[in-house]
């Protein structure tokens, strides 16, 4: 029997899955990756009709399959007044609009109120799921769409999509000067800048980093661009644009012209939900006026 204090995600086997092995059901119906199945097996975190069993067991319509969810922290939500817009949600994940100037998660004793703090308070009503597991990060000065899982299994599933390059993310930025090419790809490894505590730099010995750039508009002194990070290195877009000689406006860390804020915005997210048979989700976060794309 599962321990009473454990949290379990349960699914009933539908008619079309009768005769599948338990492993097939976990992979195809619940969207559990092979790596996560191995981990769940090690911690005895898989149940068939409330009993432990083997992955090759054939399931029948009406059987109950459960996997163990490991909550990440049970601290009471901090009392915060801030709220953030929810751009999309279902029972296991949501997309929020992070404001510029708010840290995604605690970065140290001076982090202030973080997005995680706000969401834990905002989702703490009994009818809500207060789980908050960030699938990716946005730098403190960056605004826009951020994907959040609401339980540990959903986080593992979405994290795997991110690692496999199956979550499409695009950003808007306004950069200094004119980028002459309408479209370009940047393939420049990124490593730490040993002369600064937080700064990164293009470094041939660094980690692979790839970004795509499309010019949306040019004015006398700046260029509005849409960006797609194909890898997820710290400060990747900021480093790549500065490396091109076109730092983002407001990016003091990488030599950008002065501006009231960093003009970098996470605009669009696209992904398929593993627990809804690949149902496609497309979400966009309205950009600030300075980053609004030109209308056709």
Taking phi over 0 as left and psi of -120 to 50 as alpha, with beta for the rest, 128 belongs to beta
∠ CA 81-87-92, nearest 5°, is 90
Find the Cα–Cα–Cα–Cα dihedral 283, 287, 291, 294, rounded to 10°. 60
Cα distances from 35 to residues 27, 159, 231, 271, in angstroms, run 11, 12, 21, 20
Cα distances from 101 to residues 111, 116, 140, 264, in angstroms, run 11, 14, 5, 12
Among 15, 63, 117, 139, the one annotated catalytic: 139
Question: 127 in helix, strand or coil?
Answer: coil
Q: Is 139 among the catalytic positions?
A: yes
Reference 134, options 159, 164, 109, 111; nearest CA is: 159
Please state the φ and ψ torsions of residue 166, each to the nearest 5 degrees: -105, 10
What residues are labeled active site? Answer: 139
């Amino acid at each position: 029997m599962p321990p009473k204090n454990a949290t379990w995600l349960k699914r009933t086997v539908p008619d079309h899955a009768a005769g599948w092995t338990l492993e097939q059901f976990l992979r195809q119906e619940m969207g559990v990756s092979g790596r996560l199945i191995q981990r769940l097996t090690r911690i005895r975190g898989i149940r068939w009709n409330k009993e432990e069993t083997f992955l090759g067991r054939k399931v029948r319509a009406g059987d109950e399959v459960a996997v163990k969810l490991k909550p990440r922290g049970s601290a009471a939500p901090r009392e915060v007044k801030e709220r953030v817009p929810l751009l999309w949600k279902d029972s296991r994940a949501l997309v929020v609009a992070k404001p510029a100037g708010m840290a995604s998660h605690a970065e140290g004793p001076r982090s202030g109120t973080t997005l995680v703090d706000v969401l834990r308070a905002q989702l703490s009503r009994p009818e809500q799921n207060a789980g908050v597991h960030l699938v990716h990060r946005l730098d403190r000065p960056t605004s826009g769409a951020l994907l959040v899982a609401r339980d540990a299994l959903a986080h593992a599933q979405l994290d795997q999509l991110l690692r496999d390059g199956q979550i499409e993310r695009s950003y808007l930025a306004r950069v200094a000067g004119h980028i002459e090419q309408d479209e370009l790809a940047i393939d420049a490894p990124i490593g730490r800048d040993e002369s600064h505590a937080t700064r990164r730099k293009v470094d041939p010995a660094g980690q692979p980093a790839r970004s795509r750039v499309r010019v949306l508009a040019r004015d006398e002194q700046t260029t509005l661009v849409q960006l797609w990070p194909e890898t997820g290195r710290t400060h990747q877009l900021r480093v790549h644009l500065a490396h091109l000689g076109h730092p983002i406006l407001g990016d003091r860390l990488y030599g950008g012209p002065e501006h009231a804020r960093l003009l970098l915005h996470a605009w669009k997210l696209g992904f398929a939900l593993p627990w809804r048979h690949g149902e496609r989700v497309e979400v966009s976060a309205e950009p600030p006026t300075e980053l609004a794309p030109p209308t056709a």
